[in-house]
Structure 1
Amino acid sequence: MRMDKRGKAKWRRVGEELTALRQRKGLKQTQLAPDINVVPAHISAWEHGKRGMTEDQALRLDEALDANGRFHRVWKNANAPKQLPEWYERVPGIERKVSELREYQCLLFPGLIQTPDYARVAIQDALPWCSPAEVARMVESRMQRQEILYKEHPPLVSMVVEASVLNRVMGDRTIMAGQLESLLALVEEGRLRFQSMPSEPQRHPGSAGPFCVYTFPDAPALASAEYAGGEVLMDDLEKVQQRMTIFGFLQADALSLDATAELVSTIRKRIDE
């Protein structure tokens, strides 16, 4: 049964990418199907994650969609041995559909804004039993998630972190400097609203741990909470609303957007001293 669930998870990931590329190309399923020598129902089954495809079919789809190897890489990653943990496969699909994303982190920069070097060190530290190849796949998956920040109509992204996140060196000072510079660029470009908690807050509304709230234009909101084994999704209305309330408390107690940007800039300059 676990094998079946895992298989369907990777089919969904490939299917979501196929849907996105087909729509970007402006093709209907009926228009794409003849190029692959399948019926439209086959395309629909792929896109809904109901069946797998061969590598030859993935290559032909990549060519028909002018994907320049992108779709084939997604297929290869999904079918690689010892594929990504299941929560790595679910999160990108959710994030691509959100209209608003709220995230609180108390230990690390959120994965959605991590640099490749920062992500690699964070994953290696948290999952020391993973091989270099597995770490590389997880880093690649994390970088692909960041594409939503550069969409024509990106979601509204709001993040709050504890002040210790800004000062905790991951790997070395060079990696940390790069992470801080990347964050400042994202803020200056208006791609996210980023706030830090004070260094000595009087209240601790985030003491239950990291979480995200996902809001959609045409579906009920979801929330997720991180734990040692991964991430759990919640669709219970009361639990989702509770996370929204906590996030509101965090924003109210956090430094302002401008004060946070100034703090990040100061910490970045301090690294060079």
Structure 2
Amino acid sequence: MANGSRQAAWEFFGAELKRRREDAGITQVELGSRVFVSGGYIGQFEQAIRKPQLDVAQRIDEALQTDGIFERLWRKLIKEQPYTEYFAHAAELERLATEICDWAPTVIPGLLQTPEYARAVFLASNPFAADEYIEELLRGRMDRTEILKDTTRPVYWAVLHEAALRIPVGNPAVMARQLDHIAVLMQERKVMVQVMPFAAGAHPEMGKMMWLMEFEDAPPTVYTEGVLSGSLLDDPAVVKRARASYDLLRAAALSPEASLALIESAAEDYRRCASTT
């Protein structure tokens, strides 16, 4: 399903939600209280600005006595979107974020990836997949990177462990172009990137990727990912603790200027390696 068609389908979801809610004679605030979200969230669901998580869709069905229609619609739409189910909601929220903070312990974050690097990552995870499947994953990944090109792009801050620069993904030429890409984004002041050097030793969230998002009119969230699973959390205490961990990571990392120098040096190392092979 193309992006435009998918958005139209979510707009149908929202319009149907509004119709069913109004037929039941309840306000957005009243429905929100029954399904444990704010009335503002219900309004955003109805306008297809936000997409509800599965448990919210299920509670809407229960509150409006709609015989599972919103759960079925949700499952149909999630199945036909280009991301894994556990990541889909985070990807939708990413488009609305005013600030995104990434911590990447081993792999360059998706928003910073070049097509060649992303393809190599997907092939490593799916060595027996058909080309069409890899290309579908790649299109979804590259669609996400478009938000950094918008004039209304979010403030984007990434802390990369030096391991993400040194672990070769693809071949040396792919890595050189990947690191050059990050350097250009930094030089154009579209992103802020710091590198956590090996010399920093132990640090918070070792081995765990973390992704914080803030919004203009909604609570901040934190997304973490494990093996074939992901968690999107908005509990204020959890987000506060994650923010504190991220602040410690930034404090232990190299300055943006020193980070840029290290990224450019690593890119040159890969270029020299590529020229000798």
TM-score by length of 1: 0.70
Cα distance, 1:15–1:216 mapped onto 2, change above 3 Å: farther
| Inter-partner Cα distance in structure 2 for 1:80 and 1:203 | 40
Is contact 2:82-2:140 (8 Å) kept? no
Give the match for residue 195 of structure 1: 194
| Inter-partner Cα distance in structure 1 for 2:140 and 2:271 | 31
Cα distance, 1:83–1:194 mapped onto 2, change above 3 Å: closer
TM-superposed deviation, 1:134? 1.8
Cα distance, 1:242–1:154 mapped onto 2, change above 3 Å: same
Identity %: 24
Cα distance, 1:83–1:264 mapped onto 2, change above 3 Å: closer
Give the 5 Å matches for 1:70-219. Answer: 84-207=83-206, 209-219=208-218
| Inter-partner Cα distance in structure 1 for 2:120 and 2:206 | 24
Is contact 1:16-1:47 (8 Å) kept? no
| Inter-partner Cα distance in structure 2 for 1:272 and 1:244 | 36
Cα distance, 1:194–1:16 mapped onto 2, change above 3 Å: farther
TM-superposed deviation, 1:239? 1.1
TM-superposed deviation, 1:15? 4.0
| Inter-partner Cα distance in structure 2 for 1:46 and 1:131 | 37
Partner SS, residue 165 of structure 1? helix
Give the match for residue 65 of structure 2: none
| Inter-partner Cα distance in structure 1 for 2:4 and 2:255 | 42
Is contact 2:78-2:85 (8 Å) kept? no
**Is 1:14 aligned to 2:13, yes or no?**
no
Q: Partner amino acid for 1:233?
A: L
Is contact 1:84-1:134 (8 Å) kept? no
Partner SS, residue 200 of structure 1? helix
Is contact 2:11-2:48 (8 Å) kept? yes
Cα offsets for 1:182-232 (capped at 9, x unmatched):
111111111111011122213311215001011001100011001011321
Taking only aligned residues, the RMSD between alpha carbons, in angstroms, comes to 3.0
**Is 1:223 aligned to 2:222, yes or no?**
yes
TM-superposed deviation, 1:14? 2.3
TM-superposed deviation, 1:96? 0.9
| Inter-partner Cα distance in structure 1 for 2:185 and 2:169 | 20
Is contact 1:113-1:183 (8 Å) kept? yes
Q: Which runs of 5+ in 2 are unaligned?
A: 13-44, 53-76, 273-277
Partner SS, residue 92 of structure 2? helix
Is contact 2:6-2:81 (8 Å) kept? no
Is contact 2:79-2:85 (8 Å) kept? no
Q: Partner amino acid for 2:158?
A: M
